[in-house]
A and B are shown apart, each in its own frame.
Chain A
Amino acid sequence: MPKERLTREQIAERAAQELPDGAYVNLGFGIPNLMSNYVLADKTIYFHSENGILGMGPRAKAGEEDYDLVDAMKMPVTVIPGAAFFNQAEAHTMTRGGHLDVAVLGAFQVSEKGDIANWKVPGAKGSGGIGGAMDIAVGALRLIVCMEHNAKDGAPKVVKECSYPLTAIECVKTVITDLAVLDVTPQGLVLREVAPGFTPAEVQECTGAKLLVRGSVPEMKLGGPLG
């Protein structure tokens, strides 16, 4: 039986384990946005939105939407006790200025040096758009990337050098994929965990950069409250 890679929800679940209690956190589009579903009940996380919200709560229930209270994906949200509103420049004072404990972004590619490419596909039609990704990537104290390990055509997304247009250089600290948890270190990419059932050698085979293996590599622990 072929081994199953993690689902997008499972990547989000594993990534949510990286958020410490009380942290100020920005979640980007895609898989990162699923993470708030997996924050354990005993943790309080202050979610930041670049349109000027700190302390963002769950999406608004049907019938209770307030379209002056939306997240960066235009979805009506709620706020938790202790929330604050502010302008967009102050929101990016928080991103760029090193005030967010953790930011989690999706990506097309991440390099072994921690470069991230996530805003533009080469040759894609249309204008593209940058949004807050460059500011968040440069400024977060700890930048985590959540993405599939390989593109739909099988090409590795963890690479030696990014070939896609860059969002920011040398800023990613951890990469969480459907195959592995990787840490970017001055020595290179360290394989911290593998997806259940996969070996370090199998993960290496799917990766476009050399992985450093220090001792035995544990499997990711999943199956939390909603897993």
Chain B
Amino acid sequence: MKNKIYASVDEIVADVPDGASILFGGFGGAGFPNNLIRAIARKGTRNLTAISNNCGSGENELGILFKNKQIRKVHASFPGPTANYFQECYAAGEIELELMAQGVLCERLRAQAAGLPAFFTTVGVGTEVARGKEERVIGGKRCILETALGADFAFVKAWKADRIGNLVYRKAARNFNPLMAAAAKTTIVEVDEIVEVGALDPEVIITPSIFVDRMVRVKGR
């Protein structure tokens, strides 16, 4: 059976190429795969497309990748008031940005994960984000068409995993992580603790192992 467990964060991201697209879990300081992000920063991978709710907080979270000019394109919902390195890159015209409603980001990820190419939503109707999108009246309501959004890689932060990759998250650190784990070609997880197969109650598993390709145990946020 394939071993999904890697010895180090540097090894687990070693084949992420320049130009890759990456989904980053995390919201409001909780659930960011900071150890994987720092590994990509060390590796110096460039020309990345990042899909993330936020765009960093100082050098933390995605901040270091913007500081290092490693990201070229961003799909985000709320870059955030402390995303200063992102804002510098954005002001300098170095970054292509697509902003979207947070729930739309969630559903675009879910659509990708579920093999649904697109969906209609009432969110964004009559606003800037509807520009250029197909509009239709469904059930008497104005709706716009949104397309699925996935990526080459997902970087996910989990609390506990078993050795085949079933995942459990902690409190509000769950946020986007399960959605992103299911929406990438290759899902890479940093996790606080890895237990034996069978040690996690099947009733409480949030991300089933089928969505997980690689794991590494990390210490600290």
**Which residues of A line the B interface, CB within 8 A?**
49-53, 66-74, 85-89, 91-92, 95-96, 115, 120, 125-135, 138-139, 165-169
Contact = CB atoms under 8 A, between A and B. Distances in A.
A68 B168 CA distance: 13
B129 A130 contact: yes
Contacts of A69: 30, 171-172
Contacts of A70: 28-30, 172
B126 A166 contact: yes
Contacts of B129: 130, 134
B99 A88 contact: no
A64 to B, nearest CB: 14
Of listed A91, A130, A134, A138, residue having the most chain B CB within 10 A: A130
B173 interface: yes
B28 A68 contact: no
A135 B101 contact: yes
Interface of B: 27-31, 53, 55, 76-80, 86-87, 90-91, 97, 99-104, 106-107, 109-110, 121-129, 170-179, 206, 221
B30 A51 contact: yes
A91 B107 CA distance: 11
A36 B14 CA distance: 47
A88 B27 contact: yes
A51 B77 contact: no
A87 B176 contact: yes
A87 B102 contact: no
Contacts of B170: 68
Nearest to B55: A127
A95 to B, nearest CB: 6
Nearest to A117: B127
A130 B172 contact: no
A133 B124 CA distance: 10
A131 B77 CA distance: 5
23 contacts: A53-B172, A66-B171, A67-B30, A69-B30, A70-B28, A72-B28, A85-B171, A88-B179, A89-B179, A92-B102, A95-B103, A96-B103, A127-B86, A127-B87, A127-B90, A127-B99, A130-B78, A130-B129, A131-B77, A132-B77, A134-B102, A139-B123, A168-B127
A115 B174 CA distance: 33
Given A87-B174, A87-B175, A88-B175, A50 B30 contact: no
Contacts of B173: 68
Contact of A87 (B91, B100, B179): B179
A130 B124 CA distance: 10
Contacts of B124: 134
Given A51-B175, A127-B90, A127-B99, A88 B29 contact: no
Contact of A130 (B90, B91, B102, B110): B102
Contacts of A128: 99
Contact of A85 (B28, B101, B174): B174
